[in-house]
Amino acid sequence: MSQERTLSIIKPDAVSKNVVGQIISMFEAKGLKVVAAKMMQLTQEQAEGFYEVHKERPFFNDLVKFMISGPVLVQVLEGDNAIALNREIMGATNPKEAAPGTIRATFASSIDENAVHGSDAPETAKNEISFFFKDAELCPRTR
Ligand code: ADP
Ligand code: MG
């Protein structure tokens, strides 16, 4: 397995439920390491840019409105197979279909407000990380 980095966002619904620490613990328990993190209030332009791939989808406007409805915690997670592992820990997009014990099964209330984002492939991970972080903001684990 290869060391990878992936972008994770704890979305406004989960921040508002005050479960940021519990969610990070779920990543840490499976071996993922935080190598960058910041709390941000996204602007409309940032949310639209980040989700540009979905701009033709019927839920795009609601998704953008939701993502700017409160602060988010944006982070970079590192570990073996981090991209797929993060998706596994998150659970399915629709929390009704998410496996028990996953973040979305535990904390998400609907497909619209589903607690977390995670990159879905190496190319998107690279682009999404650079959307939010400069190289110098990524902190390799030296111990
Ligand atoms: P994921 O976040 O699991 O990668 P997608 O990339 O397909 O899922 O969608 C991005 C986000 O858009 C989802 O996390 C969810 O917040 C929202 N979304 C996706 N599909 C729907 C839908 N059918 N109705 C409402 N919101 C949706
Ligand atoms: Mg996606």
Q: What is the pLDDT of residues 76-117, one digit of tens each?
A: 999 999 999 999 999 999 999 999 999 999 999 999 999 999
Active site residues: 117
**88 in contact with ligand 1, CB cutoff 6 A:** no
Nearest residue to 122 (alpha-carbon basis) of 81, 89, 69? 81
Percent of the chain exceeding pLDDT 90 equals: 99
Check residue 81 and give left, alpha or beta (phi > 0: left; psi -120 to 50: alpha).
Answer: left
Strand order in the sheet with 116-118: 33-40, 72-80, 3-10, 116-118
Rounded distance between C-alpha atoms, residue 14 and residue 103, angstroms = 10
* Ligand 1 contacts CB of residue 117 (under 6 A): yes
| Ligand in closest contact with the CA of 64 | 1
Q: Compute the chain's Rg from CA coordinates.
A: 14
Q: Is the pTM of this model over 0.95?
A: yes
For the chain, give the number of residues.
143
pLDDT bin (cut points 50, 70, 90) of residue 1 is low
Is the minimum distance from the CB of 109 to ligand 1 under 6 angstroms?
A: no
Is 93's C-beta closer than 6 angstroms to any atom of ligand 1? yes
Q: Pocket of ligand 1, candidates 63, 67, 86, 119: which has the most ligand atoms within 8 Å of its Cβ, to mutate?
A: 63
Phi-psi region of 111 (alpha: psi -120 to 50; beta: other; left: phi over 0): alpha
Going by alpha carbons, the residue nearest to atom 2 of ligand 1 is 117
Average pLDDT across the chain, whole number: 98
